[in-house]
Amino acid sequence: MKNNQFARISADHQTVIDELQQIHFMDNEVNEASTSAAAYRLLLRKACVNVQGEHGFDTKLRNYLATPDTDLKDYLNAGEPITAEVFYLVVLQLCGFLPGDDFSMDEPLAAMKEMQLPMLEAVGAWTRAQVLDAWYLLLTTHTKDGQTFLDLLTNQGYFVPFYDLSARQKPLFFNGKSQAVFDTSKLICEVVYVESSVDSDHDGNRDLLKVEIIRPADTENGLKVPALFTASPYNQDTNDEAGAKAMHKVNVPLTEKQPNNLSYKDIAYHDEKMELPDPRSINGETKYAAETFSREYSYTLNDYFLARGFAAVYSAGIGTLDSDGIQTCGNPQQTEATINVIEWLNGKRCAYTNRTDHIAITAWWCNGSVAMTGRSYLGTLATAAATTGVEGLKTIISEAAISSWYGYYREGGLMIAPDGYPGEDADVLAIETMSRMKAAADYHLHIKDYFDMQMKKMARDMERESGNYNTFWDARNYLKKVKNIKCDVLMVHGLNDWNVKPGQVEQLWQALRDVPVTKKIILHQGQHIYINAFRSIDYTDMINLWISHELYGVQNGAKELLPNVIVQDNVIPETWTVYQDWSEPSMARETYHFSEGKLDIASTGYKVVTFKDSLPFDHFKRYAEHLDQWQRDILAEEPNDLSANRLLFKTVPVDKDMIIDGRVRVHVQASSNHSFGMLSFQLVDYGEAKRFNVSPTPIPMRKIGLGYRWREDQLREFTLAKFATPFKMISKGHINLQNRENAWKVDELKPDQFYSIDVDLQPTFHRLAAGHQLGLVVYATDFGMTVRGNQDLRYSLELGNCRLDVPLR
Amino acid sequence: MKNNQFARISADHQTVIDELQQIHFMDNEVNEASTSAAAYRLLLRKACVNVQGEHGFDTKLRNYLATPDTDLKDYLNAGEPITAEVFYLVVLQLCGFLPGDDFSMDEPLAAMKEMQLPMLEAVGAWTRAQVLDAWYLLLTTHTKDGQTFLDLLTNQGYFVPFYDLSARQKPLFFNGKSQAVFDTSKLICEVVYVESSVDSDHDGNRDLLKVEIIRPADTENGLKVPALFTASPYNQDTNDEAGAKAMHKVNVPLTEKQPNNLSYKDIAYHDEKMELPDPRSINGETKYAAETFSREYSYTLNDYFLARGFAAVYSAGIGTLDSDGIQTCGNPQQTEATINVIEWLNGKRCAYTNRTDHIAITAWWCNGSVAMTGRSYLGTLATAAATTGVEGLKTIISEAAISSWYGYYREGGLMIAPDGYPGEDADVLAIETMSRMKAAADYHLHIKDYFDMQMKKMARDMERESGNYNTFWDARNYLKKVKNIKCDVLMVHGLNDWNVKPGQVEQLWQALRDVPVTKKIILHQGQHIYINAFRSIDYTDMINLWISHELYGVQNGAKELLPNVIVQDNVIPETWTVYQDWSEPSMARETYHFSEGKLDIASTGYKVVTFKDSLPFDHFKRYAEHLDQWQRDILAEEPNDLSANRLLFKTVPVDKDMIIDGRVRVHVQASSNHSFGMLSFQLVDYGEAKRFNVSPTPIPMRKIGLGYRWREDQLREFTLAKFATPFKMISKGHINLQNRENAWKVDELKPDQFYSIDVDLQPTFHRLAAGHQLGLVVYATDFGMTVRGNQDLRYSLELGNCRLDVPLR
């Protein structure tokens, strides 16, 4: 077990005393205790939340070893002094570590160091001041259950007496982070309908947007709270059956495209001035909503903050159940509707209590400060909102977010499906999230015809067959407007996310370089996942520190304390390393030249090698049904049914660890035997090793409490697989051979003629361990991502003119 | 989608009116409404829990189709009559079904039938009485989310106004089932320490048992509630690391056993009179506990009932954190400690508020009636408790429970690991559940030495190497005392549970035949799982009906209404069929004779065939690491690395569906080339088909609410796999060739001599679809279950004297 905490603030002794007083650990009794051990016993007593009576408390003390052969009750009764050894032997047990299993009871200090738990290293008998300093440190230290010791006490009810603090005394910050002094059994749930500035369903009325609000009851007594706004098109349910029906066929041929001479300006999207109906006229005002709800589709990170003085606000946006409009899959109307909710929270826009009475309601309980949260499409809309510079939006925490939809559904002039969703496309996602379908009368009587028509238009505009970048995609490219961003940006992405690929966050990271806002990024080894329930990193604490600063204005040094770049190591579990940057443009690059089966430092001469793309039908069918087998065989060195369908090049084993940081560039001289073709590349780490399991492992029986008797999450962690594997894909890339210059301009491809092709693979941060080999696999049909035409295509590479440029840290 | 409800009571009109009045759907306004449509509108209004104001309600009505081209608001405004077509078109939408995806809006009645949803089939315009009858029916009907419509309203807050009912008006039953009129935000959590009648740690004091209680606040006002008691050794955490370290090696040879002449009476366990220390002397009494807790490790079925007027009681028992004693893995002391908790709940035993003050506390809030719940070890302890006939225990709901530990860790004179846990054994489980280890001082200073000694003794007594049934196992055989059972028994088991195998429940089922209690059994297609969050069966409702009757004495006809045997079909999803019995001793049997590769109706002559057991080391290693590959290859017909390590026999394709009901018996004439040996058998369904996925599929975004703003479960259902598979294992069995007579008597085995061997495979209920073939695979080493000696063993069968007896329904 290794602890990694980035959000813990070092406090001087006066701050320790002040803050311990604020949360009632420090009081006269502690101050006047006869010895430091007596003071320590009082602190322990306060932490023993669930036991009444001194004898019951004594029994609990009997559970802990103070030394390898004395229990804590006897030790304290004997009037022995508190030393670092005693204090930390108890700390380890309080934090859930077991002598024998997790540490040696003879060496608690070594164990603390080994597990990277912070400690006060004072020799001899401790003073009361040292006990208090160490107690403060303990409260901010993560336990074996992935939360601070104070959060553990919180979940046991420590802060229940604080629920009655007056609104003026709330929120309560400790170590720079807002604490759970809000009664979650009294949260107020309200629905309002924000009037947007779009009419996406063309019905002559501005689209009303259903917004769900959950706010602390203290707001009724004068407290104004910030809002965590999660814009989630999935939030009012999804149309899984309709989406499944709308899926496109992927077993279709790749076809020749007519060459064109388009330049970017020919296809650039320009903001359109839409004609907009007049706003509704207000018929009255009220402070109270007329609709509530019992359960929202929530993000557990928001749940955690509901106990800590933040409101959670959910809106599914245009085209969703109980809202107006239609789903557009990321177009500017959707962005506009998203920020309209922020404008309401910030006091600049009208909302109504229901859809017909026009009784206005303001977000009077909100302090006007908003952060956006959420993963995937949710983070995407956060990114979109940020690029408008909308007032009130102080920060976005965008996780696994799309920054340009082209890169989500396309790449290099090819349709490229997000991993795991072959056949999906922009129109499918629009249909899937068009939850107005769930209101059958609303949908069938009023919206279906128009929506169907729009979906037909979208199917044309998105040009699935050509795969080209065009006006449709340019309208859905948020990167164009990154310079407008005024809020701070905290990004999170999985280096193994082949759904929303790492390039999506890297493009945003690069585009933000010159934008004068604070930006932070956390790169983890997961796929398309949330990381707020990981044991080895204090992600939730970081967000607490961050939004306490951004939304409550607490001067906690969040911007300086949180590292700019944190990367989870891919070799050693529970290792998160701080860097100053990622994918720096000036990164040194190593060039490898291709020769048969090899990636060499020196170039070899002229040599043509060829591979086929088609498969016998039964092989084709098997691989199409079992994408995991396809993925294994396309990379495996031993002969298999795909051996002739790819070329494999490998370096010699590297003699020391090598870190690839950024985008690997592939340059090939290639030909197709037809007038069309595509190439795919996978960068591979070859070497027998126990690697991380693909998904984090839930830690059995270990739930994370998000507050006292409140919702929960499942603690998890990336663990090493039980058995070694011979390789792992690091990155990949694809290109249509007719899009050699860029994704919009189509070039002619003459059969059997060699062309120079450059492809930047998806960016990575990968440690290639000493003894491993870096490999590149070149192939065409990517069973999980491209069309699967099973055509009689053959591709050739002229190896003398092929190379790999690898950015090395 | 197919609905299967077994707990819905048909009600006459007067009952309908009475019960609708009780839950406030029926009132004067409804009674005096001008038309049946107006009454219907009022019912809908009451069901629209979260919207204030008529206009807001109107907007919600606009979401529903009343006819394919009119919404419900317009339809009701127009004063049109309510017909079955209108009512059920709306019902389908209210229940979450979507026109287009789930049904055709032109044929709502056909859809209701197709989905097996109950309906009132009255033609023409409905009267108010018919509307009310149909509304009652709707409230008891399952929605697409796997709960009744009334439960759906419950989760939206329908019963919140009922929280204030007086204790005398609670509980509230509707359709024979207790309703969620208890405020879960006010539940009272208490810890008491029951003084048991065992001293399992031999420390001279009766073991105190920590008991966690959660009870409705209404008990403070005079309501007495029954208790759902879950005895779970896992509940105070588990020692996973220590358990992992204690795992036994399985790559060890099978060895020859010394023949013996034991009869059962030689090894029978007889109850021992243990010397017992005096009870503690009581120092005082109190009504209130001195210790609470914030979160118990709960079973969601209990959570559901916490909102419905039941207390939940958890105890981990001897050897667990904050209790005394040691873990014994199922011995009589553990049973005694388990029923001691029931005795306290039933007013017949003392508990204390803490471990030292001897202040007694009674279960004054309990009506004395107890049901035990829980799966696996939890259900096992329920079974154990039932066999004592303890007073107050009215029923057990034992899920996937062990009835005799020998069959859990052994079989036929062999060590047989529960599936997925090779290397586990009784001592490992005792160590894993000995959560007193979590209190380091208590454990290391007071108990470790004694426990280590006891574990060494257990390791000897359990005779892992011989695999024989002995006194150790006889002491852990609850079947011996089934005749003492006085409570009703509801059993649940997975037909694909190879952890706690189906034989465990079948033995109990058989033993209960002559015991004068009510017994019910539900057999599902899962492995070792809970079934209370399934969409296609109303399991939770059944339990509600059952315990409302058993614990509150409600005369709801539960014993008659609930079928004796419900079996989930293994071919067609969402199909649960009622039978009168399972594995009847008198079931007709079909005999198949072995010939090379075949199972024939006619016997063939003398023919010896042979297979080996050893493997080249690399194959052995691969299979040991990838049990799924081993399991696939041992059954696969195409040649593979295990083809010579097994014999495969198959019937011709069956010409119509065939149901195997009970235990298939294998009779072989077999020899080993050594003086020891074992045989394993798998009964297999051969035939290309899309079969159920191994685990139920979570239904995305579909949580089951267990009350209003209360805990949740994840809705799930067994679905067909995306692709066809060629076979599936139905059942299996194992025998040590030296235990030909029984599991305790060891016979001599002469090398190369043929012996007659009979093995009853695990019982099943399996539909072999027309066109499929029944297969039997005979082999020796079972990589997932037996020792893996990789020895030079060869086995031969004399086919002319081999046969399979199949019980066919």
pLDDT digits (tens, 9 = 90+) for B201-225: 999 999 999 999 999 999 999 999 9
Give the CA angle between residues B673, B674, B679 to the nearest 5°: 75
Concerning whether B10 is annotated as a catalytic residue, the answer is no
Q: What mean pLDDT is predicted for residues A187-199?
A: 98
Contact yes or no for A684/A702 (Cβ under 8 A): no
Model confidence pLDDT, tens digit, residues B68-88: 999 999 999 999 999 999 999
Minimal CA separation from A388 to chain B, in Å: 31
Nearest to A745 by CA among A536, A517, A469, A473: A469
Which candidate in B528, B593, B734, B766 is catalytic? Answer: B528
Q: What is the DSSP letter of B368?
A: E
pLDDT score, position A34: 94
Residue type, A406: Y
Residues of A labelled catalytic: 376, 497, 528
Q: Does B105 touch chain A (CB under 8 A)?
A: yes
A535: left (phi over 0), alpha (psi -120 to 50) or beta: alpha
Question: What type of residue sits at position A247?
Answer: M
Does residue A604 surpass a pLDDT of 90?
Answer: no
Q: Does A625 touch chain B (CB under 8 A)?
A: yes
**Looking at chain A, which residue has its C-alpha nearest residue B94?**
A439
Contacts of B157 in chain A (CB under 8 A): 292, 294
Length of chain B as a residue count: 809
pLDDT tens, residue by residue, B97-120: 999 999 999 999 999 999 999 999
All domains of chain A, ordered by start, with CATH?
Answer: 13-178 (no CATH), 589-693+722-807 (2.60.120.260)
**How confident is the model over B299-346, as pLDDT tens digits?**
999 999 999 999 999 999 999 999 999 999 999 999 999 999 999 999
pLDDT at B533: 94
Whether B672 contacts chain A with CB within 8 A: no
Cβ atoms of A105 and A71 closer than 8 Å: no
pLDDT in tens, A434-490: 999 999 999 999 999 999 999 999 999 999 999 999 999 999 999 999 999 999 999
Residue B604 has pLDDT above 90, yes or no: no
Burial class from Cβ neighbours inside 10 Å (0-12, 13-18, 19+) for residue A330 reads buried
Distance from CA of B137 to the nearest CA of A (A): 23
Under 8 Å between Cβ of A48 and A30: no
**Token pair recorded at residue B382:** 């329920």
Q: Report the SS3 class of residue A87.
A: helix
On average, the pLDDT of chain A sits at 97
From residue A211, give the alpha-carbon distance in Å to each of A312, A323, B55: 10, 9, 18
Predicted confidence (pLDDT) per residue in B761-792, tens digit: 999 999 999 999 999 999 999 999 999 999 99
Res B603 pLDDT > 90: no
Residue A75: closest CA among A102, A35, A47: A35
Residue-wise pLDDT tens digits, A546-586 = 999 999 999 999 999 999 999 999 999 999 999 999 999 99
Distance CA B540, CA B306 (A): 13
**Any chain B CB within 8 A of the CB of A353?**
yes
Q: Of A197, A426, A440, nearest to A325 (Cα)?
A: A197
Specify the pLDDT at position A700.
86
Chain B CB contacts of A156 below 8 Å: 293-294
First to last CA, chain B: 27
CB contact under 8 A, B59 and A354: yes
Q: What is the 3-state secondary structure (H, E, C) of B656-719?
A: CCEEEEECCEEEEEEEECCCCCEEEEEEEEEEEECCECCCCEEEEEEEEECCCCCCEEEEEECC
C-alpha–C-alpha distance, residues A428 and A94, integer Å: 51
- Asked whether the beta carbons of B373 and B230 are under 8 A apart, the reply is yes
Q: So what's the pLDDT on residue B701? A: 85
Nearest-CA distance A73 → chain B (Å): 10
- B497 has catalytic annotation: yes
pTM: 0.96
Span A625-641, pLDDT tens digits: 999 999 999 999 999 99
Q: What is the mean pLDDT of residues A151-161?
A: 98
According to DSSP, the β-strands at B697-705 and B712-717 are: antiparallel
A755: Cβ contacts below 8 Å, ≥ 6 apart: A669, A670, A671, A737, A740, A749
First-to-last CA distance in chain A? 27
* Closest residue in chain A to residue B187, using alpha carbons only: A709
**What is the predicted pLDDT for the residue at A272?**
85
| Residue B266: predicted pLDDT | 98
Closest residue to B72, CB basis, from A51, A156, A441: A441
| Contacts made by residues A133-137, CB under 8 angstroms, sequence distance 24+ | A133/A13, A133/A16, A134/A87, A135/A20, A135/A25, A135/A40, A135/A43, A136/A11, A136/A16, A136/A19, A136/A20, A136/A175
Provide the number of CB pairs (under 8 Å) joining chain A to chain B: 182
Which one-letter amino acid corresponds to residue B555? Q
Asked if residue A466 lies in contact with residue A413, where contact means CB atoms within 8 angstroms, the answer is yes
Q: Looking at the partner chain, which of A59, A237, A293 has a beta carbon nearest the beta carbon of B356? A: A59
- Amino acid B354 reads N
**Whole-number Å distance between alpha carbons of A656 and A206:** 62
When CB atoms are compared, the residue of A49, A238, A291 closest to B56 is A291
How confident is the model at residue A274, as a pLDDT?
80
**Residue B270 at interface with chain A, using a CB cutoff of 8 Å:** no
A50/B100 Cβ within 8 A: no
Nearest chain A Cα to B65, which residue?
A441
Q: Which two tokens stand for residue A785?
A: 């991502």
Contact B356 A240 (CB under 8 A): no
Helix, strand, or coil (residue A567): strand
Max Cα distance, chain B (Å):
92
Residue with token string 């795992």: B247
Query: Hey, of B101, B159, B163, B247, which one would you mutate to test binding to chain A, going by the most A CBs within 10 A of its CB?
Result: B101
**Of B59, B105, B290, which has the smallest distance from its Cβ to A355's Cβ?**
B59
Tokens encoding B421: 């846990």
CA distances from A70 to A87, A92, A111, B355 (A): 13, 15, 19, 19
- Element (DSSP H or E) covering residue A304: helix A300-306
Average pLDDT over residues A320-335: 98
Helix or strand holding residue B551 (H, E) = helix B539-552
Residue B657 is a catalytic residue? no
Q: Is pLDDT at B435 greater than 90 in this prediction?
A: yes
| Residues of chain A contacting residue B441, judged by C-beta atoms under 8 Å apart | 62-66, 70-72
Residue pair B399/B430 in contact (Cβ under 8 Å)? The answer is no
Residues of A in Cβ contact (< 8 Å) with B722: 625
**Interchain contact A241–B (C-beta under 8 A):** yes
**Digit-coded pLDDT (tens) for B668-678:** 999 999 999 99
Q: Which amino acid is at A757?
A: I
> B294 contacts in A (CB within 8 Å)?
49-50, 155-157, 705, 708-709
